[in-house]
Amino acid sequence: MLETNLTGAFLGIRSVAPSMRKAGGGSIVNVSSIAGLHAIPNLLAYGASKWGLRGLTRTTAYELAHNKIRVNAVHPGIIDTPLAHDLVTGNNLVPVDKFAIPRQASTREISNYVLFVASEDAAFSTASEFVADGGFGLGPIL
């Protein structure tokens, strides 16, 4: 989990930073998770990797700022993928009916969000955390 979610991001940044420096700047977007913002039971390694990604994002943003390279993180909530459903029953592993937006995000919604953060429309953001969680962080809406 740490190799994929944290070391993988580090290696990706290390790979693209030289060409971004030569190009005069750019934008790096790390994809984290709500598990990087909230303690979630039974996701110890995943959560630790995503919390670590927050530190990597902020430190890298600081270190690459003088190269005009922005580094931000997107923290998606529950996304409608096979990983969000029980393999046997097909039921949601995380009930979303009590979220402020009572559904899972589509992959298209999250990819569009990442594209926005990478774009010049978000040019004044670096070391920022963009949350697309359908209100998960609010807790259940009663």
**What is the per-residue pLDDT for 61?**
98
**What is the per-residue pLDDT for 133?**
97
**What is the per-residue pLDDT for 68?**
98
Cα→Cα distances 10→22, 27, 94, 95, Å:
19, 15, 29, 32
Cα distance between residue 60 and residue 65, in whole Å: 8
Among 26, 38, 40, 46, the one annotated catalytic: 46
Q: Taking a C-beta distance cutoff of 8 angstroms, is the pair 101, 134 a contact?
A: yes
Superfamily grouping for domain 2-134:
NAD(P)-binding Rossmann-like Domain (3.40.50.720)
To the query of whether residue 62 is one of the catalytic residues in this protein, the response is no
**In the chain, which stretches have pLDDT less than 70?**
none
**What is the per-residue pLDDT for 103?**
97
Strand order in the sheet with 69-76: 26-31, 69-76, 129-132
pTM, two decimal places: 0.94
**What is the per-residue pLDDT for 17?**
98
CB neighbours of residue 123 within 10 Å: 10
Closest CA to 92 of 80, 108, 101, 102: 80
